[in-house]
Amino acid sequence: MARDIKLTWTDELDGDFTLLNGDLERDEGLGTAVMISLFTDGRADESDDYDNDDPRGWWADEVSEVEDDQIGSKLWLLRRRALTEDVEVDLQGYVYEALEWMIEDGIAERIEVETYSYGLPENKRLNFIARIYKADGNVVAFKFEDVWNNTSVINVGG
């Protein structure tokens, strides 16, 4: 199994690497790949509504050896939107789109995204769970609460 450098979130909500016994900690699952896929800003399409005429995106997408291959998600487009059913639908689509490469690359057989919200109308929180049904039969679920603030990985068997 491939071993990625493990990406962890700091208290400031930035991704960072950690040391374990003097070496970079490794991730033997999909955690780092999922975090990069979801929380790297994906390039907005011309039809998307975004501020400052900046469609964002990762610079290396421009020099990818695979045509139209892009890293990241459009979750950043949701940050200033009011929490409505449309936002939940867009969230679900953005998460799926960001992780779909795992199906194309044979890592996963399918991906399911479940969204849900909680809280009072003036202080609602948006959450989602991404379930990755791996090609080896295992299922890994990644739960994101309050969308960008807390993350946890849940292994749900296989």
In total, how many domains does the chain have? Answer: 1
Write the DSSP symbol of residue 46: T
The β-bridge relationship of strands 150-155 and 139-145 is antiparallel
Per the structure, the complete domain to which residue 25 belongs is given by 4-155
Concatenating the DSSP letter of every residue in 114-152 gives EEEEES-GGG-EEEEEEEEEETTS-EEEEEEETTTTEEE
- Mind listing the pLDDT tens digit of every residue in the chain (158 residues)? 456 777 776 655 566 777 888 888 877 678 888 988 998 889 888 888 887 778 888 777 777 788 878 889 999 888 878 888 888 999 999 999 999 999 999 999 999 999 988 877 777 788 899 999 998 999 999 888 776 555 555 555 44
